[in-house]
Amino acid sequence: METRETFAGLSTWQIALWYTLIVISTSIFAWGVIRLVIKYRRGRGSFPVDRPLHRAGRTAWIVFTHAWIKRRDGVAGLAHAMIFYGFVVLFIGTGILAFQDDFARPILGWDFWQGPFYLVYSLFLDVFGAFLIIGLVILGVKRARKPKRLDYTRVDGVTSRYARWRYKVGDWVFVDSLLFLGVTGFFLEALRIAETDPPFEKWSPVGWVVGQGLIAIGVDGETASAAHFRSWWVHGVAALTFVAAIPFTKAVHMMAAPASVATRNDRASKELVGLPPNAKPEEVGYGVVTDMTPAHLLQLDACTKCGKCHEACPATASGYPLSPRDLVLDLREQSEGALGIRGWLTVPPLFHSDENLLGNPIRPETVWSCMQCMACVEICPVGIEHVPIINNLRRRLVDKGEMDSQLQTTLETIYESGNSFGEPKRKRGRWAKELDFEVKDARKEPVDVLWFVGDFASLDPRNIRVTQALARILHHAGVDFGILYEGERNAGNDVRRVGEEGLFTDLAESNIEAISACEFSRILTSDPHSFNTLKNEYPALGGSWDVVHHSQFLLELFQSGALTAGRSLGRRVTYHDPCTLGRYNGVYDEPRALIAATGCELIEMQRVRDNSFCCGAGGGRIWMSELKAPDAPRPSESRMHEATALDRVSTFVVCCPKDVTMYEDAVKTSGHEGEIEVRELTELVLESLDFEPVALAATAD
């Protein structure tokens, strides 16, 4: 009968020793897991438990399809899938063998590990064991080529107390440990086959081929048996050591990553979690390790240091003192030293004995460098919420008054005037008086569409031209619309993302009161930042409406026949996806459909849709002083270089007021003036409708 003996050649005391080692290994593993759980539970709050079936289903889908891992690096995704499924199948195979030897045979008298089952079992384990080794070799080769995203050199210039070579050593030890287990497993199988050369072991193709090679060089019979005995113990002890080390090494991501995906906030890109009612100063943001939520502490351990966030971050690329990966690793080192195994062993944290998160190496400049563009969160294969973590660090800095002086002035200006320009309230709706038709005051009469215009679209001279163009289009299409005039205040999206939660709440409540007093069907806005916070964050404060971005609304007008292009523009254009419209809210197709409706040919840049590159204005960066390296291009300049490298593209299309400001400036500072022009999507639509150009509105009192 086709089978084999599990403990062939081992005496009773050796078998007893083996089971003793198993108990020791699993006990160490269990102790490590318990310590991790204790660490996470010391965070503030609790793990999210809402929609358990949804979370379980999402986690299973992400884990088993590798949907997040394979994005933008198909080779790494394939290699990891081979490693993952190879490890899972080998683990299941080991479990089946343990069930057979320790339960089915001695207790149930059922010996199923023979005949056809054994043959198929052998084939599966050999094939997936080979996948494991091939995947490890692929990743080893990729790592040996030293890609930029795996360079652990700090970007902030801070000299820390830990040497980063430890990370590289840890990475290689993890890969080599798995490779050692895979190779020694096949070698062990080959020695067993070489000892007696049973014909049915051809169902173990890899082991059989290697075994035949051993036989050919004279390693068979007693020689193979003696080598098999020694190799069995080497492989077995190595496997048990690996299991015991999982909670304490890079291998912890095997548990932490699926758990991180399961506990991730689906709305992390849309809605920041507010402060608890009547929050005390120590409850505002993250100041010490125990301020972090259990889910965020867990996410720190899930990080595999893959560097995808590091590679995607516009701050990192532009020489700002921020790398999302470095920030997570710094927080993990502090968490481990304060709450983890090192903390339990009373080993002082590497950075501060008082657990303080902000100072060294996480400097305020690092936290303020973030553009809150969500590129890091979107690409992370294990679900880490870098941006909400950074936002909580900002909240603590704001609460302590430690912020950029320019930012502080802007926040004070917004508080006093309701807008970031410091203009009187009466000027917010002045652009409408330059039109040859009346724009309704939605506070005084019912309208179908309430247009929330926003600061830049209302008060910036260049953006006023776009606002007037949109008003003319809406009027031409017969849309019944109105605005709040001086009743509108800054929506607060970026105020919240710089960490000023109190001012955000004040702005939101004021706008909600003004909007709720109006009679309308839906809200329109041309500002993606206002669009996001009105749509996703105001409902928690009592303001829930149907909110639409102007790119979506204009497309509806074309599709309904209310708008028809009078002429085809025939331009070659490229389009920039705004972060808060794209990554935050998934609006990608509507602007492109509008571009097509104007008769323009869209030539895509390399980084588009969810991989779009931030203009540099987000997260309040437009209100702060420069932090980039002197010789590095600003994010908007990098984007302009990317656009002008395209063949015969004449127009850079945007659909965000801040993008208009950032990219018109970048055209000049990047040295591309005269090569390409920046146009807001509305302006293309207006031109295709064959209207007369809109004159620049007067801005004097």
Q: Is pLDDT at 133 greater than 50 in this prediction?
A: yes
Which pLDDT band, with edges at 50, 70 and 90, does 275 fall under? confident
* Helix, strand and coil in the chain, % to nearest 5: 60, 5, 35
Strand partners, 572: 601
Q: Cis ω on the peptide bond leading into residue 361 (within 30° of 0)?
A: yes
At residue 427, the pLDDT reads: 95
Q: Is pLDDT at 346 greater than 80 in this prediction?
A: no
Which pLDDT band, with edges at 50, 70 and 90, does 448 fall under? very high
Q: Is pLDDT at 340 greater than 90 in this prediction?
A: no
Q: Which pTM does this prediction carry? A: 0.93
Sign of CA dihedral 161, 165, 171, 173: negative
At residue 352, the pLDDT reads: 56
pLDDT in tens, 652-662: 999 999 999 99
Q: Is pLDDT at 126 greater than 50 in this prediction?
A: yes
At residue 698, the pLDDT reads: 42
Mean per-residue pLDDT for 399-428?
95
What Cα–Cα distance (Å) separates residue 80 from each residue in 69, 74, 88? 8, 10, 12
Which pLDDT band, with edges at 50, 70 and 90, does 349 fall under? low
47-85: b (≥16 Cβ within 10 Å) or e:
ebeeeeeebeebbeebbeebebbbbebeebbbbbbbbbb
* Other CB atoms within 10 A of residue 507 CB: 22
CA distance linking residue 373 with residue 28, whole number of Å? 41
All domains in the chain, ordered by first residue: 13-37+176-248 (no CATH), 66-147 (no CATH), 266-402 (1.10.1060), 407-688 (no CATH)
* Other CB atoms within 10 A of residue 299 CB: 30
Which pLDDT band, with edges at 50, 70 and 90, does 55 fall under? very high
Q: Please give the DSSP secondary-structure letter assigned to residue 610.
A: G
CA distance linking residue 184 with residue 1, whole number of Å? 26
Q: Is pLDDT at 697 greater than 50 in this prediction?
A: no
Backbone angles phi, psi at 573, to 5 degrees: -125, 160
Task: Output 282 or 518, whichever has higher pLDDT.
Answer: 518
Which pLDDT band, with edges at 50, 70 and 90, does 351 fall under? low
Mean per-residue pLDDT for 359-371?
90
Q: Is pLDDT at 693 greater than 50 in this prediction?
A: no
Element (H, E) at 215: helix 205-216
Backbone angles phi, psi at 81, to 5 degrees: -65, -40
Give the full edge-to-edge strand order of the sheet including 677-680. 601-602, 572-575, 651-654, 677-680
666-675: b (≥16 Cβ within 10 Å) or e:
bbeebebeee
Lowest mean pLDDT among 142-151, 156-165, 519-528: 156-165
At residue 301, the pLDDT reads: 96
Sign of CA dihedral 350, 355, 361, 366: positive
At residue 277, the pLDDT reads: 80
Mean per-residue pLDDT for 362-374?
94
Mean per-residue pLDDT for 374-392?
96
* 8 A C-beta contact, residue 613 and residue 315: no
pLDDT in tens, 549-588: 999 999 999 999 999 999 999 999 999 999 999 999 999 9
* 8 A C-beta contact, residue 458 and residue 431: yes
Q: Which single residue is written with the structure tokens 């590679």?
A: 311
The pLDDT > 90 percentage for the chain reads 83
| Residue of 308, 315, 328, 304 lying closest to 385 (CA atoms) | 328
At residue 74, the pLDDT reads: 93
